[in-house]
Structure 1
């Protein structure tokens, strides 16, 4: 990626997150990045493609941010809670206005939009992650537990972005800890 295209994508990413996708036009992106509209169209082809790259880049950064949290955890329970810990830390630095995918979906609900697959793909990946981690803990209840964890996680992200109450993600983590504790198999005292 050329330096101008990188500046444009960085500017677009910041603007889309801060102001909303529909509120930001290519003129503003070009002006903020110090490039011409021609540079934007030569590199990205359309505003829709800039949106795709913004969301895909954010998803890629999130997955890279999350991985060490989960990898450092040593038990299935700790791995699940590590997702909430990572989300809390990520949100403090990167998501003052809530989840970028949820925010984008509020503006892009048409499955034909090229960014729609990025948005729904990221959430499907999160559900698969929670379900896989739940499978390590409670194999027969993995789907149900994965869905419940996903709902807690997403609710925490949305409440964080709306500033409904302090530490919404931490609260969601506490509820997840209780849910996971209830899902853990009983230890056989004879062992």
Structure 2
């Protein structure tokens, strides 16, 4: 392989990463609909032709941006599977405030924001956001099942709704303190469910 071909491949990988990084920053800061492809190409330092080479449309870029978030952001992926934590601690950790190192407005949940900005339930981006939300609730239910509660599906849905409500309210109030309030409610829900289930059965 020639040096020039290696250079082109290196630049290609870098261009895609810069586009996604710019999309994440701009979509988070100002929203999807307010961000144009011209602005994205300038922020990523690529031409619009290069941008469309990697992403054939804005919808495709938004879909990829959300797909990347699902695998890389803790708040997007869901509760921790840290083995040193009990199931109860894992459920409550979902509501632990995330450190903020910016003075930018609180933007809440990327997936809720995307579903609001793209309201058509048949749109691929909206479907992806809905799929993520369903999977998030199922994962919570799975942890609740390991905790031994009698109705893990109900608890998982309750906690997922609480998480989403705190995220939406935090966005409206531009406040990160809603997660602390949500955590206190989550403690009541989880501990009540555990108390109703009784002590674990020993075999």
Give the TM-score normalised by structure 2. 0.81
C-alpha separation between the residues in 2 aligned to 1:104 and 1:183?
A: 32
Tell me the equivalent position of 1:49: 60
Tell me the equivalent position of 1:89: 98
Q: CA deviation at 1:61?
A: 1.3
Deviations 1:58-113 (A, max 9, x none): 2211249867843144322112112222xx226x3598211111111111122332
Long gaps (5+) in structure 1: none
C-alpha separation between the residues in 2 aligned to 1:28 and 1:62?
A: 24
Q: Larger radius of gyration, structure 1 or 2?
A: 2
In structure 2, do the counterparts of structure 1 residues 56 and 140 end up closer, same or farther at CA, with 3 Å as the change threshold? Answer: same
**Native 8 Å contact 2:145 2:152 kept in 1:** yes
Q: CA deviation at 1:52?
A: 0.7
Task: Confirm whether residue 34 of structure 1 aligns to residue 45 of structure 2.
Answer: yes
In structure 2, do the counterparts of structure 1 residues 93 and 58 end up closer, same or farther at CA, with 3 Å as the change threshold? Answer: farther
Any residues of structure 2 matched to 1:107-118 within 5 Å, and which?
Answer: 107-118=117-128
**Native 8 Å contact 1:66 1:83 kept in 2:** no
In structure 2, do the counterparts of structure 1 residues 61 and 149 end up closer, same or farther at CA, with 3 Å as the change threshold? Answer: same
**Native 8 Å contact 2:79 2:140 kept in 1:** no
In structure 2, do the counterparts of structure 1 residues 73 and 171 end up closer, same or farther at CA, with 3 Å as the change threshold? Answer: farther
Higher helix share goes to which structure? 1
**Native 8 Å contact 1:13 1:54 kept in 2:** yes
Long gaps (5+) in structure 2: 1-11
Give the TM-score normalised by structure 1. 0.85
In structure 2, do the counterparts of structure 1 residues 15 and 106 end up closer, same or farther at CA, with 3 Å as the change threshold? Answer: same
2:19 maps to which of 3, 8, 11? 8
Any residues of structure 2 matched to 1:24-173 within 5 Å, and which?
Answer: 24-63=35-74, 69-85=80-96, 88-89=97-98, 92=100, 96-163=106-173, 167-173=177-183
Q: Which moved more, 1:51-60 or 1:132-141?
A: 132-141
1:186 maps to which of 173, 191, 198? 198
